Structure 1
Amino acid sequence: MISLKDKDIISILDFTKEEILYILEISGKMEKEDRHGILSGKILANLFFEPSTRTRLSFEAAMKRLGGEVIGFDDLGTTSTVKGESLRDSVKIIEGYCDIIVLRHFLEGASRLTADSVNIPVINAGDGASQHPTQTFVDLYTIQKSKGEIENLSIGFLGDLKYGRTAHSLAYALAHFNADMYFISPPSLRMPKDYLEELELKKVSFQEVNSISEVSDKLDILYCTRIQKERFAEPVEYEKVRGLYKLSKSVMDELNVKDGLKILHPLPRVDEMDESLDSTEYAVYFQQAHSGVPVREALLASVLGVIQ
């Protein structure tokens, strides 16, 4: 019997294939059934040291729909961090106010540090350019719903693969499911070497290419990512790659694509994906964003031990 009670959610690498499938199964139940009240009396601390819309609000909605309460912040300027308080001291204090912590931070490793510092479960809501495991569960759930399966699919990752933590986590997760992966990016934004080495160890089939046209006829899923201006040390380096890839209905019409191709995007989008795609059969990214609520309901309920 699988139990995730009191488990920290820091990296998708910490999950077995069976645990991933378990979360997807529970997510489906959460979407179909009213579970209001099962987290009554529980408090979630939403600690966002970095901007967020979908992740922060979907965690808040999930907790409240299950009957729990939410405290926290989304503005670093309102915290004692500006006075010099360390992350470790902050979370050790906040631990006494809640039952579970969800943390987004601009530094890689911040979630692991937090989990090592407190005695309640910690969920990584994105740490620097490293990983974003709960988004990965949302992505997998969306793929499963839109394609009917997650085994043996061909997945294209497009855009910023160097700093794109959602792409990093999803690639690791798909290694469990016999996926063929195509990493589509300019040389300066390639998938980091350590991630590729991990995929090689897992005997995952992958290929690095510069253009979507090279592989469009092979793809079941195209996972589009934003080129993240905030991750670049120098603005001039961002300007070199800004707008390098831009998907639109007309672009997709010109490509040779497989029937049933679906486009995912963790959002927000800037100029890499035109609104003309929104009404096409390819687009599932808004459904993807909405799936954040049942998936995070499943994660919260499982980690807090009310579903086993």
Structure 2
Amino acid sequence: MSSCAFSTCTLQNNELMCNKHLVQFKRNSISTDLSYPKMTWHNSTTCQQSGRRLQCKALNVENNNNYNFLKGNVFQLDDVIEAQQFDRQILSAIFEVAREMETIEKMSRGNQLLKGYLMATLFYEPSTRTRLSFESAMKRLGGEVLTTENAREFSSAAKGETLEDTIRTVEGYSDIIVMRHFESGAARRAAMTANIPVINAGDGPGQHPTQALLDVYTIEREIGKLDGIKVGLVGDLANGRTVRSLAYLLAKYNDVKIYFVSPEVVKMKDDIKEYLTSKGIKWEESADLMEVASKCDVVYQTRIQKERFGERIDLYDEARGKYIVNRDVLSVMQEHAVIMHPLPRLDEITVEVDGDPRAAYFRQAKNGLFIRMALLKLLLLGW
């Protein structure tokens, strides 16, 4: 995708104007029937000259105009790194593509939409659902997968190779990279290095944007709306990248209220609270799961993450088991409400809950396939 990484850009007479800088732009060199909106770019960017085209990377995009997502148009984002990249309009359009992917998955086992494309999965941390759903998504659309499940131990990283060198090497073998890393900010580093799309599949305690996308998609499918909802985020809120990313996306919607329910040692960090306040989102901390569950449309439970505590096992033991979703919690929940969990779970949701129709976490996991199919299609082919 050709774009410009200055502060503001507008397309005027086939020329992309960025502040007082001028970048030549030829529509027919990329796609037909393009209509680029005015955009504002944020955070780190890089530009690289390639022949007669200037290729730039930008990680955060805010769309300032109404924009029609027409088939054949390029996707607005080069990479998927953090939840702040998305606005409501893009989210709605992605969800529409995801619904198309549901139809493809149900009606056809031989779709060839991404035939000839290769996806590399670099996972420096253990994963089951995320890695397999990305690989399934690629194969459902006819693409192929190059995978390394434990890159931290079984790749050249174990020999001391830098992340940047790994990315430069892997991009020579593939068309898109999906990466999970143990360090917050690693996905951004990868995206700034690569000349192909990079998807953040979780970077330490940082973010997990594709999980947040599937979570919001699930809420819309289960509750029927996103404006005016009440969501209880429960469990490890300090280290949980899923709840951090979800909070960023929920802030896009109107009249949302978020309740934070967690042990003291893993409370939600101030940066998320300050962000929500800046966006006019009401939030409240509570120690009473039963009270919160009785008010909420969504109870989003998370695992207390032992791996984030290091040697402080005493703190882990203090936090684990304090808030458990069980039949007692179900008894106070509203009939339309749902229970969600990014999985894997330990004992924070009892198995007796699984049979209740409000237990949405396995449907939530399946929705991850459709969202990731949509993202692969959009990043590689556009709308």
The answer for unaligned runs of 5 or more in structure 1 is none
Superposition pairs for residues 1-308 of structure 1, below 5 Å?
1-2=68-69, 3-4=74-75, 7-33=78-104, 34=108, 36-75=111-150, 76-178=152-254, 179-233=256-310, 234-253=312-331, 256-305=332-381, 307-308=382-383
Q: Aligned partner of 2:266: which letter?
A: L
SS of equivalent residue, structure 1 residue 149: coil
Preserved CA contact (<8 Å) 1:185 1:211: no
| Equivalent-residue separation in structure 2 for 1:293 and 1:216 (angstroms) | 28
Cα offset for 1:171?
Answer: 0.8
| Equivalent-residue separation in structure 1 for 2:171 and 2:76 (angstroms) | 17
**Greater per-residue strand proportion:** 2
Q: Aligned partner of 1:188: which letter?
A: V
Preserved CA contact (<8 Å) 1:182 1:209: yes
Cα offset for 1:257?
Answer: 2.3
Per-residue CA deviation, residues 231-273 of structure 1 (Å, 9 max, x unaligned), is: 11311110111111111124422xx322211000000000111
Q: 1:227 to 1:36 in 2, by over 3 A?
A: same
Q: Aligned partner of 2:144: which letter?
A: E
| Equivalent-residue separation in structure 1 for 2:158 and 2:234 (angstroms) | 36
Preserved CA contact (<8 Å) 1:5 1:304: no
| Runs of 4+ displaced beyond 3 Å | none
| Equivalent-residue separation in structure 1 for 2:261 and 2:329 (angstroms) | 16
**Greater Rg, structure 1 or structure 2?**
2
Q: Aligned partner of 1:128: which letter?
A: G
| Equivalent-residue separation in structure 1 for 2:183 and 2:122 (angstroms) | 14
SS of equivalent residue, structure 2 residue 164: helix
The answer for unaligned runs of 5 or more in structure 2 is 1-67
- TM-score normalised according to structure 2 size: 0.78
Cα offset for 1:214?
Answer: 2.8
| Equivalent-residue separation in structure 1 for 2:379 and 2:154 (angstroms) | 29
Cα offset for 1:211?
Answer: 1.6
Cα offset for 1:5?
Answer: 5.7
Per-residue CA deviation, residues 96-153 of structure 1 (Å, 9 max, x unaligned), is: 0000000000000000000011111100000011110000111111111111122211
Q: 1:217 to 1:250 in 2, by over 3 A?
A: closer
Preserved CA contact (<8 Å) 1:8 1:115: yes
Structure with more relative contact order (C-alpha pairs < 8 Å, separation 6 or more): 1
| Equivalent-residue separation in structure 2 for 1:204 and 1:258 (angstroms) | 22
| Equivalent-residue separation in structure 1 for 2:191 and 2:125 (angstroms) | 18
Q: Aligned partner of 2:88: which letter?
A: K
| Equivalent-residue separation in structure 2 for 1:168 and 1:5 (angstroms) | 23
Per-residue CA deviation, residues 207-234 of structure 1 (Å, 9 max, x unaligned), is: 0111212322210010000000001131
Preserved CA contact (<8 Å) 2:293 2:329: no
| Equivalent-residue separation in structure 2 for 1:286 and 1:214 (angstroms) | 25
| Equivalent-residue separation in structure 2 for 1:272 and 1:47 (angstroms) | 29
| Equivalent-residue separation in structure 2 for 1:195 and 1:115 (angstroms) | 23
| Equivalent-residue separation in structure 2 for 1:96 and 1:8 (angstroms) | 17
| Equivalent-residue separation in structure 2 for 1:70 and 1:22 (angstroms) | 26
SS of equivalent residue, structure 2 residue 250: helix
Aligned residues: 305
Moved more, 181-190 or 268-277: 181-190
Q: Aligned partner of 1:18: which letter?
A: Q
Q: 1:251 to 1:205 in 2, by over 3 A?
A: closer
SS of equivalent residue, structure 2 residue 226: coil
| Equivalent-residue separation in structure 2 for 1:95 and 1:244 (angstroms) | 44
Preserved CA contact (<8 Å) 2:177 2:196: yes
Per-residue CA deviation, residues 179-204 of structure 1 (Å, 9 max, x unaligned), is: 11111112221111011111111010
| Equivalent-residue separation in structure 2 for 1:162 and 1:6 (angstroms) | 28
**Greater per-residue helix proportion:** 1
Alignment RMSD (CA, Å): 1.3
